[in-house]
Amino acid sequence: MAEPIKDFAYWWDVQGEWVEEPNERREGSSGVQFVVAAEPGQASLYIKRQINHCYRSLRHPLGRPTVFREEQAIRAFNQLGVRTPKLIYCDAQKLPDHWRALMVTEELEGFISLDEWYEEHADTEAACTPRLLQDIAQMLVTIHQAGWQHSCCYGKHIFVKTDIDSGQAEVAMLDLEKVRRRWPATSAALHDLNQLSRHKGQMPPEDWQALLQAYAEYWPAMSQRLDALR
């Protein structure tokens, strides 16, 4: 028997534990629920639920759900080779008096935020630090050179996975609903790096310097521009 089509009504009815309680923004709200995998081998999911959580632009002066902007960013980042949570479903419904919107993504299994890594793993997995910082720098350079600005570039939105045995690391970018195009690309880079410098959690100064050095190696033209952040 064919699996039933999982449409908007199906996903709207799926419920999980709130990991981000709905926050009010202007006339709307947005929150995230975690849904544990129903069967072995299946991925656990995050469901972002929004009501009237919209952005406005020249193309959409009356407002459009921010999940669509995040969906665009996820697809663009994936084309660049930047890892993000796997997109399962994204859509919205326009009702007479409000929007309802959904985005469903898979859990990045084994990944934790950069903030959490520095709080709980940096000491025991110090051998991974050089590779980790290199990979974060390369990811950010890839995003910025393509003219994308994350706009909320905090340690809590950079997710990492390290292997102490091999010293290797994997990195990913989350929370892309504020991502936008910005030119020149150097302006996007300076904006995000300045944010990260202020929201890097417990990253020690020497690691921040190493991250900036790696960034400059991947993008030499930015080297002098980074002096103000050192």
| Other CB atoms within 10 Å distance of the CB of residue 47 | 21
Q: Are residues 121 and 223 in the same domain?
A: yes
The CA distance from 229 to 167, in Å, is 28
Is the pLDDT assigned to residue 227 strictly greater than 70? yes
Total number of domains constituting the chain: 2
pLDDT digits (tens, 9 = 90+) for 167-192: 999 999 999 999 999 999 999 999 99
Q: Are residues 23 and 94 in the same domain?
A: yes
Domain with residue 135: its CATH number is: 1.10.510.10
3 in any annotated domain: no
The pTM of this model reads 0.93
What SS3 class is residue 159? strand
DSSP 173-224: E---TT-EE-SSHHHHHHHHHHHHHHS-TT--HHHHHHHHHHHHHH-GGGTG
pLDDT digits (tens, 9 = 90+) for 94-145: 999 899 999 999 999 999 999 999 999 999 999 999 999 999 999 999 999 9
The CA distance from 135 to 130, in Å, is 9
Q: What average pLDDT does the chain have?
A: 94
Q: Which of 18-27, 148-157, 177-186 has the lowest mean pLDDT?
A: 18-27
Kindly state the tokens that stand for 153. Answer: 């570039």
Structural domain including 128 reads: 112-229
Q: Are residues 125 and 96 in the same domain?
A: no
| Other CB atoms within 10 Å distance of the CB of residue 209 | 13
Q: Are residues 55 and 145 in the same domain?
A: no
